[in-house]
Homo-oligomer: A and B are copies of this chain.
């Protein structure tokens, strides 16, 4: 068995990010880099919304919203609960939502 280094120590030593960290970080920011997704996530900050609710409030096509929700769902940034034929989506990642809030706050106050 080789020495058991923490990722933290490795990066502190080499100053380089490992492949997996790089992938996770870039994916996270990619999720937040599109205006449509930002608007969806921003609305979900204030509670649950169905697909049609989101589409109406944001003036987007139902298909567009559904596609983006699938994207966000795959990254586990949102989750949903079913009520009949309606799916209520809500946020599912405090850390990422926090990054978004910070960026919005910063943008607004500058």
Contacts and interface: CB of A to CB of B under 8 A. Distances in A.
A34 B22 CA distance: 9
Task: Give the secondary structure class of A's interface.
Answer: helix
Interface residues of A, number: 37
Contacts of A57: 16
**How many chain copies?**
2
Given A25-B103, A102-B99, A107-B28, A38 B15 contact: no
Nearest to A10: B108
Contact of A33 (B30, B100, B102): B30
Interface of A: 7-8, 11, 15-17, 20-26, 28-30, 32-35, 38-39, 42-43, 46, 57-58, 95, 99-100, 102-104, 106-109
